[in-house]
Chains A and B, each alone.
Chain A
């Protein structure tokens, strides 16, 4: 099993749609979880951290299920500017500074 696995995508959705991305991780000792966004031919940038209690930032909601080793990202009211690749990122174990990136899920929001 790969360390971090994501939905293969691509996701093509109309503007205004709600879209959800899923991610599973293999190391039960992982403690830090993040979603990064990467625009085409650009560097990744942090979108949001994922907390145990779940967290929301505007139209974006992230959730963590430690028992299932599962992370999700929900985007409501999709905008054209949300088109990007979304990367699930997990640290490699308790106290580990090494961050493992998933391959990403590509989102295209269509007018």
Chain B
């Protein structure tokens, strides 16, 4: 499809395990964002990639979280040693550089840490 694709859509893991979440942005979009949304909460900014520039990691909640974007396209968000408070929906969004505001979101990856 032409939209932002995220996988897995659902992930259940045990506390202490590592997880990887994948985002495939819309082709040609240079900006890519990761947010997370906990139940009943707003979207929390995690990290931002723009082209070949250094990513803005200011929203990552701890050093257990990391993300990379290979070839300016696909991005992977990795959470090491997961904790129960990491349970949330992780949303990826991309943006065409010419449009400062409109973010196109994927359907999210719902992470449950038992």
Q: For A32, list chain B residues within 8 Å (CB).
A: 100-101
Chain A: minimal CB distance from B51 (Å): 11
- Complex Cα distance, B56 from A102, in Å, reads 20
- Complex Cα distance, B99 from A32, in Å, reads 11
Give 1 or 0 for each of B94-110: 1 = CB within 8 Å of chain A CB: 00000011110111100
Chain B: minimal CB distance from A86 (Å): 12
A98 touches B45 (CB 8 A): yes
Query: Which of under 10, 10 to 19, 20 to 34, or 35 or more describes the interface residues of B?
Result: 20 to 34
A42 interface hit (Cβ, 8 Å): yes
Give 1 or 0 for each of A11-43: 1 = CB within 8 Å of chain B CB: 000000000000000000000101000000011
A103 touches B41 (CB 8 A): yes
Query: Which of under 10, 10 to 19, 20 to 34, or 35 or more describes the interface residues of A?
Result: 20 to 34
A97 touches B106 (CB 8 A): no
B42 interface hit (Cβ, 8 Å): yes
Name B residues whose Cβ lies closer than 8 Å to a Cβ of A.
31, 33, 35, 41-43, 45, 48, 50, 56, 58-59, 91, 100-103, 105-108
Q: A49-B102, A101-B35, A103-B42 are in contact. List 10 more A-B contacts (CB 8 A).
A: A32-B101, A34-B102, A42-B107, A44-B43, A44-B91, A89-B101, A91-B100, A98-B45, A100-B45, A103-B41
